[in-house]
Structure 1
Amino acid sequence: MSWTINFSGLSNVSYKYWNVDLARMDLLLDQPGNYAFLKPTGPKTWTPLYFGQADSLRNRLSNHERWSDAVRAGATVIVAHATQGAESVRLSEERDLIAKWNPPLNVHHRTTG
């Protein structure tokens, strides 16, 4: 079942993500985008453990080096969305979200610890 979630960044811009079917990663489009690894924290509530960006969602998410760390930290969901524009647009979104949420698996662009 497909669903979406919105995350706002430190800038208060809201970004809409859709869930990725972990059993059908091969169906991901080969397109640039942003993504997050999420941990459930209640009914229909999630905490981001990692935000990232990629030139190709399919290539990046099919064998991500931080996914096993995310699973150990409680992640059960990947969300993503295609991002229009150059890499600078994806990086700006990534930094904006990391600055607000300070996900534990991101080591760059954090505003705390």
Structure 2
Amino acid sequence: EEDGSERVLSEADSGSFFGEMALLDDAARSATARAVEKTELAAFYRSDLLALAEEKSQLGVKIIMYLSQVVAERLRRTNRSLKEVRDELESVKVDSEEVDGA
């Protein structure tokens, strides 16, 4: 957060991954990950993905397609959450107008 506080965006289970957007473009990472228990991680960088795609193009395409599906699903989930928030704000606005008009 801008005030220095933290917000939990998601929790990862065993075998899951994060930071996939950094594999697809050169933008800076958009979040920080913190383990809440003893954890083993494997790092896979954009340069690794590009080298793999050059050496084993079919595997590279499969990985990129999978990453794209993950990003798309996370975007859909975010869009649903934003719609829920907008709907809730609209409901509060209507309730507020009814109170003000009463």
Shorter-chain TM-score above 0.5:
no
Considering fraction of residues, name the structure with more helix: 2
Q: TM-score when scaled to structure 2?
A: 0.29
TM normalised by structure 1 equals 0.27
Relative contact order: is structure 1 or structure 2 higher (C-alpha 8 Å, sep ≥ 6)? 1
The structure having more radius of gyration, on CA atoms, is 2
Structure in which a larger fraction of residues adopt strand: 1
